[in-house]
Structure 1
Amino acid sequence: MTDMANFITDSTVIAVLGISIGVMFPALAMGWAISRALDALSRQPEAETSIMRTLFIGLAMIESLAIYVLVIVLIVLFRNPLLEYLVS
């Protein structure tokens, strides 16, 4: 394989690893937040509206981290800044 093929293969593998690791931690945080919210709801059912509102805001912020990871990995994968140095 040529240097270009190795570089493209390596960057693709690194992008896949980056997205898998970058999405794993927000997924764990979402599961933890949901379990804590359900625990809080079982202890104080009268506070359902405030718990749910806070939960949804927190889940949106956690999900935005996964979206940021996806965007950065796609930018690096499709517009790799190191590719210019390899071509020239």
Structure 2
Amino acid sequence: MTGITPEAFVLGMSALGAGLAMICGIGTGVGQGYAAGRAVEGVARQPEAQGDILKIMLVGQGVAETPTIFAFVVAIVLLFANPLVGMLG
């Protein structure tokens, strides 16, 4: 009986890590949806402050999106340009 090769193990764990990294997108989506909903409520209450509310919301959306972009980059690196496989020897 042969065991799993080290390369297959690293590739499998890298795929699992890439999937776990992309779970970050769930929280980002929920948070951005909540922020957009609150901004719409704010504009409905104070239409004259629409410009300021939208400006602040868009900056917040950009800040909230950053961790998901980093997680996506990590997932792509783990799947397609995996530096860990080269360390096996």
**Aligned partners of 1:7 and 1:75: how far apart in 2?**
13
* Structure 2 counterparts to residues 9-20 of structure 1, below 5 A: 9-19=12-22
Q: Which amino acid aligns with 1:38?
A: V
The alignment partner of 1:71 has SS state of helix
Poorly superposed stretches of 4+, deviation over 6 Å: none
Q: Which amino acid aligns with 1:11?
A: S
Question: Can you give the 5+ residue segments of structure 2 that lack an aligned partner in the other structure?
Answer: none
Taking only the aligned residue pairs, the percentage that are identical comes to: 30
* Structure 2 counterparts to residues 1-88 of structure 1, below 5 A: 1-19=4-22, 21-86=23-88, 88=89
TM-score under structure 1 normalisation?
A: 0.78
Question: RMSD of aligned C-alpha atoms?
Answer: 1.8
TM-score under structure 2 normalisation?
A: 0.78
Post-superposition offset of 1:79: 3.5
Q: Relative to total residues, which structure has the larger helix share, 1 or 2?
A: 1
Post-superposition offset of 1:71: 1.2
Post-superposition offset of 1:81: 3.6
Q: Which has the higher contact order (CA 8 A, sep 6+)?
A: 2
**Aligned partners of 2:74 and 2:12: how far apart in 1?**
18
